[in-house]
Structure 1
Amino acid sequence: MSRTDDFLKHITEGNTTKGDFIPVGAAMLDGETITGAHVKIPLKTLNRHGLIAGATGTGKTKSLQVLAENLSERGIPVLLMDIKGDLSGLAQPSHGHVKIDERMSQIGLPFEAKGFPVEVLTLSEQNGVRLRATVSEFGPVLLSRILDLSDTQAGIVAVIFQYCDDNKLPLLDLKDFKKILQYATEEGKAEFTEAYGRISTSSTGAILRKIVELEQQGADLFFGETSFDVQDLLRVNDHGLGYINIIRLTDIQDRPKLFSTFMLSLLAEIYSTFPEQGDSGRPELVIFIDEAHLIFDEASKALLNQIESIVKLIRSKGVGLYFVTQNPTDVPEEVLSQLGLKIQHALRAFTAKDRKAIKLTAQNYPDSEYYNTENVLTSLGTGEALVSALDEKGRPTPLAATMMRAPMSRMDILTEDELKTLLSSSKLVKKYNETIDRESAYELLNKKIAEAEADEAKEQAEKEKEALKKARTSSSTSRRRSTAMNPVVKVLTSATFIRSVFGILTKIMKK
């Protein structure tokens, strides 16, 4: 048996699966594609998370597109983070090309051009379904971790949330939270001190500065109503295709704090609301996080710990997380160790540091008698990748240098007119894009302060009125006393003087 036949048997037996699977391409040996040696990813293990990595221009986005299409085709909804703005083409069928036909012929798979149901979401003022969450939904622990607060400051945040719960003050947006912080150390200082203990103005000042920093990255647009319901990510269209939800993030690349805030809140909400399902045979939702380093680069240790915990736990909810980045070292080792599927496109060795990173990356893959992994990583062409997945029993499949299949949808963005047409037919735009600013902590506290000031002004007016009345009474008494003490008055009103006057008057009358 030839080396090629041995390799074909090795790949075929290693990729045997009884359930549904996604064929991502055909295995390659010595730079040649082995037609029919299909590399398969079982649906059952797609909730074991994964990594798509490779240098710029090596085909990461197209691999992501292929996975999203095949998941949608099998009725599994997808959530994509579109940092570069090149994924909206999933809504339209591919234009086709001679090179696509050649590639698919080499792989041994048919090609059908088709578009998929797409929902465009946004965190900013870009067109799309607005994604929002309230401060209350974040809760004190998550908010403190996002703001990277000290233990003392986190305790104050917990007290603030408790006060709002006790007094039925809804915390919806950041202006609500800033107002209650101000109230705790100014107008309501006595009330807080009596019920919850003294709150330091230096601590609340530090928290306010962290909130302002978050606002400068656009978080004021994210916090508020109407809150996005994560169940809307699980929709399937009338033809049984899962919706591909694309979050447009092209304008927040320089705002990583907002990106990590959103991602953490989304994952926490999914984990808290999705039911446990274990290994059900297929995932409920698959999330692709493009430019994943944006989450990790600016994350505090507390935030990283939170992300790592969610990655470990969310699998049981039927959710798969896939990190897309240029180099696997962009992802923390604690997260990397949890990833079952790895699609590694070419890496470039321009510096000693690059060569060291490639050596470390090669050690993350199973040993293979057919490949020198370290050499293959630098010699892969565009649209080729090293693929290692988990079979249905959780074992790594044979490592395969793979000619990746071409996407069925357009490998380009939608035009402005196409995007407008897509959004005009969206049910979620109608549901979430109305701005709501109902009465919450900000308005209620302002009203409370105004009422307290009015009561204080009224009390002051009453005191002034009473003081004026006392002053008048005192003045009248003083005048009477002063008059009574006057010597002339004393003489004129004396009994002797009055008798004398009456005696004179009597004599005059007799005459």
Structure 2
Amino acid sequence: MSDIFLGLGGDERQALLLEKANRHGLIAGATGTGKTVTLQGLAESFSANGVPVFVADVKGDLSGISMAGSSTFKHADKLEERAKELGMEDYGYSDNPAIFWDLYGEQGHPIRTTISEMGPMLLARLMDLNETQEGVLNIVFRFADEEGLLLLNLEDLQSMLAYTAEHAKELSAKYGNVSRQSVGAIQRQLLQLENEGADQFFGEPALEIDDFMQTDEQGRGYINVLAADKLMRSPKLYATFLLWLLAELFETLPEVGDPEKPTLVFFFDEAHLLFDDAPKALQEKIEQVVRLIRSKGVGVFFVTQNPMDIPEEVAGQLGNRVQHALRAFTKRDQRAIKAAAETFRINPDLDVEAAITELRVGEALVSTLDEEGAPTVVQRTLIKPPRSRLGPVTKKERAIIRSISPVEGKYDEEVDRESAEEVLLKKIEDAAETAAEVEAKGKEEVAKRPRRTTSIWGKAAKAAAGAAAASAGTILAGKLSGRKSRSDPTARAASAAAGTIATEIGKAIGVPGLGRFARNLMGGLMR
């Protein structure tokens, strides 16, 4: 049975079973106790075993995982001394295959999704909307869905909100109360998001989840490093993005049960941001995704300073634990120490509560799941040193790694195809032109002219053809991967086309929900 060596607890080898890595985990400890080094060592071991990894580089120093360490670098003597202490006779420096990502497109390939893919619930969380405002946002999404309008970027959503405000009375009659005040509040929050740079996150080409799950020619899993140092200035965007990513993985990946090794391992640094001020409905959604995503073969490791940052319902699902030192400066710290000690399986030879405050840097309390899925007895463990570089890469090294990335050129240029903003703008222009003609020629004369709007079949074909032409590179990549995800532009185009057709048919025969049904059906067929 394959495992990952973590370190030595006394004379006992401490390891993480690969087949239990999708049972999730926790890496906790105060600042400066060695959490990042533990994370780095785990990530490179997963990669060496052919498991792709996603890590958020919050402090900017995890990028060094892409480069081999060296005896000339800082702390090299400590790493080599620790390896010798652990009897790692095969210890040597090595690099790892890595792909750099960045929501802002500055330190890595841009990551984008569409407004529609994000959905109203996560957007409401991102914008701190109250219940009434979230209800209005749901109406906006519902209306856009029934009208076959694509919400791709913030401009599309702003256009839809402006349209909603102008037609609040008629929309209220059909969907429920839509107040201009609520629409205005949402618009102001969108402007704030745009000022924080969130507009770069929404658009196309949207991320293909398959690109997070690649291996190199040696069979090593790629380590996807998200540059999050700038992103952390917008903590709500950071947390919302990572929750969206988990949800996408859950919805896209097939059921695999408990595989011999994970499909993907996901490290969520600064994990408390996911749960801070989260409304109950959202927290329940998080708990559900974490509980069920293991059946997709995805392991989620939460990295945080205080283990009490993780809600009990989530913490109870974290079978693999690495607890670094905690400090007992405050009453909350003391409660955290007690709570952390109580989560471990008792070791009669170890005072866990006392040990948590005594651990030195690079030492941790470790408990993992055994072959039967039961937690092992907690052991005070010297953690193994990583083989890659401790510290960030240089700008030149980053540029080289980015240039040889397997997704080079796929996401770097934004695509802007016809969506809600353009459609609504055309409606406004047509209305203005028609009003001018009526004034000049009279209503009866204008009524004789041919209809401006093309048939629903023509609109559907135009939407599908436009998406296909704009996304040739992404379509080819999807064919090579052998599977289409929800973010495949072809699937979205077909879904939009089906929705446009079915919505109009539904209106004609009195079934207004038919458009949503067709889009869902088409999305499932193309997935």
- TM-score exceeds 0.5: yes
Q: How far apart, in 1, do the equivalents of 2:172 and 2:235 lie?
A: 37
Q: How far apart, in 2, do the equivalents of 1:140 and 1:236 lie?
A: 34
Does the alignment pair 1:131 with 2:106? Answer: no
One-letter amino acid matched to 1:106 = E
After superposition, residues 165-204 of structure 1 pair within 5 angstroms as: 165-186=145-166, 188-189=167-168, 192=171, 196=175, 199-204=178-183
One-letter amino acid matched to 1:202 = Q
SS of alignment partner, residue 387 of structure 1: strand
Q: How far apart, in 2, do the equivalents of 1:442 and 1:118 lie?
A: 37
SS of alignment partner, residue 228 of structure 1: coil
Does the alignment pair 1:122 with 2:122? Answer: no
Contact 2:5–2:14 (CA<8 Å) still a contact in 1? Answer: yes
After superposition, residues 65-104 of structure 1 pair within 5 angstroms as: 65-96=40-71, 97-104=76-83
Partner of 1:314: 293
The Cα offsets for residues 247-302 of structure 1, whole Å up to 9 and x where unpaired, read as 00001222111112201211111000000111112110000011212222243333
Name the TM-score, length of structure 2 as normaliser: 0.80
Q: How far apart, in 2, do the equivalents of 1:250 and 1:152 lie?
A: 34
- Highest Rg: 1 or 2? 1
Contact 1:130–1:429 (CA<8 Å) still a contact in 2? Answer: no
Worse overlay, 255-264 or 64-73: 255-264
Shift of 1:211: 2.6
Does the alignment pair 1:20 with 2:2? Answer: yes
SS of alignment partner, residue 430 of structure 1: coil
Partner of 1:5: none
Q: How far apart, in 1, do the equivalents of 2:184 and 2:177 lie?
A: 14
One-letter amino acid matched to 2:404 = S
Partner of 1:332: 311
Partner of 1:278: 257
Contact 2:26–2:321 (CA<8 Å) still a contact in 1? Answer: yes
Name the TM-score, length of structure 1 as normaliser: 0.82
Are the structure 2 counterparts of residues 394 and 20 from structure 1 closer, same or farther at C-alpha, using a change threshold of 3 Å? same
Q: How far apart, in 1, do the equivalents of 2:343 and 2:177 lie?
A: 53
Q: How far apart, in 2, do the equivalents of 1:464 and 1:44 lie?
A: 73
Worse overlay, 99-108 or 285-294: 99-108
Structure 2: runs of 5 or more not aligned: 446-527
1:409 is matched with which residue: 376, 388, 391?
388
Q: How far apart, in 2, do the equivalents of 1:61 and 1:415 lie?
A: 19
Q: How far apart, in 1, do the equivalents of 2:359 and 2:181 lie?
A: 56
Q: How far apart, in 1, do the equivalents of 2:171 and 2:331 lie?
A: 58
Contact 1:145–1:302 (CA<8 Å) still a contact in 2? Answer: no
2:375 is matched with which residue: 396, 399, 404?
396
Are the structure 2 counterparts of residues 435 and 38 from structure 1 closer, same or farther at C-alpha, using a change threshold of 3 Å? same
One-letter amino acid matched to 1:22 = I
Shift of 1:202: 2.2
SS of alignment partner, residue 322 of structure 2: strand
1:206 is matched with which residue: 182, 185, 195?
185
Q: How far apart, in 2, do the equivalents of 1:288 and 1:339 lie?
A: 13
SS of alignment partner, residue 408 of structure 2: helix
Are the structure 2 counterparts of residues 334 and 218 from structure 1 closer, same or farther at C-alpha, using a change threshold of 3 Å? farther
Partner of 1:423: 402
Q: How far apart, in 1, do the equivalents of 2:176 and 2:88 lie?
A: 69
Structure 1: runs of 5 or more not aligned: 1-18, 29-33, 467-511
Shift of 1:305: 2.2
One-letter amino acid matched to 1:388 = S
Q: How far apart, in 2, do the equivalents of 1:450 and 1:39 lie?
A: 69
Are the structure 2 counterparts of residues 144 and 98 from structure 1 closer, same or farther at C-alpha, using a change threshold of 3 Å? closer
Shift of 1:444: 1.2
Partner of 2:34: 59
One-letter amino acid matched to 2:295 = S
After superposition, residues 232-271 of structure 1 pair within 5 angstroms as: 232-271=211-250
SS of alignment partner, residue 127 of structure 1: coil
Q: How far apart, in 1, do the equivalents of 2:161 and 2:383 lie?
A: 54
Shift of 1:190: 6.5
Contact 2:122–2:240 (CA<8 Å) still a contact in 1? Answer: no
Are the structure 2 counterparts of residues 350 and 142 from structure 1 closer, same or farther at C-alpha, using a change threshold of 3 Å? closer
One-letter amino acid matched to 1:302 = A
The Cα offsets for residues 77-120 of structure 1, whole Å up to 9 and x where unpaired, read as 00001100111111111113343333222212230211000000
SS of alignment partner, residue 241 of structure 2: helix
Q: How far apart, in 2, do the equivalents of 1:255 and 1:418 lie?
A: 27
Shift of 1:189: 4.8
